[in-house]
Amino acid sequence: MAAPRVGTALAGRSPRRALPTAGACVRRSMVICPCHRPPPPGSPQESACRRGPRAPLAPRPLPARNQPPPAEPSGQGGRATVAEAIRVVVFGAHPDDDDIKAGGTAALWSDRGDDVLFVSLTNGDAGHQGLAGGELARRRRAEAEAAARELGGVRYRVLDNHDGALTPSLDLRTQIIAIIREHQADVVLLPRPWDYHPDHRATAQVVQDAAYMVTVPNVAAFAPHLRRNPVFAYVADHFTRPCPFRPDVVLDTTPVIERKLRALHRHTSQVYEWLPYNAGTLAEVPADEAARLVWLRRWLEGDQRQAHERRDALARWYGAPRAAAAQYAEAFEICELGRRPEEAELRRLFPLG
């Protein structure tokens, strides 16, 4: 198992990258991460799962890296101006989780001039009925990179850990800390630890364990520590035990939903092969690409539900008229292990324009 090349993603990066110019469970009623086998029929997990069915802005300067925080209480507070771009790291277990849970928001961030890095903690080498090992891992990495291009300016890193075997080890925690530090993250997204898939739970645990520790100089000491804790936020799910998801921030992703669809379309080994096989619907998959894109829209039903079920939250962030018009949405819950932002900082950090 090759060690992740921590830091290489940022090597040689210009202070401001170019902007793009252009713009689950498996069954139709399921929207939890579709990477893998859905929960057993009749299980609590399945029950929980079934509950849910702009023009680019001018580039904004990224703040200098490793800057100390403004004079304010340790671990709290915001940046100086609303014009600064931010850095985001999205962690998922498999090389499609991030796209599914935060692809629309990532596209909005990218359009705003922010820097978004998707990280998959496994290489996805268990997610297929006919392929495995290195061949599948390489295919899934290529699919992830293609998906990131569809979102526009998003980068994707796939760590070389085996799919289905992820554990929240101390070694992995050290890698996560280094990635967050190298990226100088302002915002970190992660799954909640209540989930049917053990890799998802392990991802949640290990990223939670990295929160705060990113500010401790003598932990993972070769990567310069952050002077303040990033904002950590959970991606949405429909699990209710021990506590349901709380939509602290809800984003209208309607303007970028076609890009998210095309990003999912790039995960051919998953959305047209493994997941339909796993769900017993492989015979339904069209062969023609145009027909596949139509068929694939069922994967956006979860985003439609987020918009439908979160009208009040959308109205808080956008006002009633836009909330009423939103067709697709993604929601996030602030994790109390990271910095606790006030509303004004949330409005600056998240692409709510």
What residues from 31 to 60 belong to the interface with Zn ion (CB under 5 A)? 33, 35
How far is 328 from 311, CA to CA, in rounded Å?
11
How far is 202 from 330, CA to CA, in rounded Å?
22
How is residue 74 written in tokens?
């340790």
Report the residue number, 38 or 230, with the smaller CB distance to Zn ion: 38
**Shortest Å distance, C-beta 36 to Zn ion:** 6
The residue written with tokens 């139509």 in the block is 294
Binding residue (CB under 5 A) for Zn ion from 62, 93, 131, 231:
93
Kindly state the helix (H) or strand (E) to which residue 217 belongs, with its residue range.
none
Stretch that binds Zn ion, among 85-93, 252-260, 320-328, 333-341 (CB under 5 A): 85-93
Q: Contact at 8 Å (CB) between 115 and 89?
A: no
**Shortest Å distance, C-beta 102 to Zn ion:** 13
Check residue 86 for interaction with Zn ion (CB under 5 A): no
Check residue 94 for interaction with Zn ion (CB under 5 A): yes
- Residues with Cβ within 8 Å of 288's Cβ and at least 6 positions away in sequence, in order, are none
| For residue 242, cis peptide bond before it (omega within 30 degrees of 0) | yes
Stretch that binds Zn ion, among 89-97, 306-314, 318-326, 328-336 (CB under 5 A): 89-97
Report the residue number, 212 or 234, with the smaller CB distance to Zn ion: 234
How far is 141 from 126, CA to CA, in rounded Å?
13
Angle at 41 between CA 40 and CA 43, to 5 degrees: 70
255-278 as b/e, with b when 16 or more CB fall inside 10 Å?
bbbebbbbbbbbbbbbbbbbbbbb
What residues from 283 to 322 belong to the interface with Zn ion (CB under 5 A)? none
Stretch that binds Zn ion, among 23-31, 59-67, 92-100, 318-326 (CB under 5 A): 92-100
Check residue 97 for interaction with Zn ion (CB under 5 A): yes
**Total residues contacting Zn ion (rule CB under 5 A)?**
5
**Shortest Å distance, C-beta 5 to Zn ion:** 22
**Shortest Å distance, C-beta 18 to Zn ion:** 30
Binding site for Zn ion (CB under 5 A): 33, 35, 93-94, 97
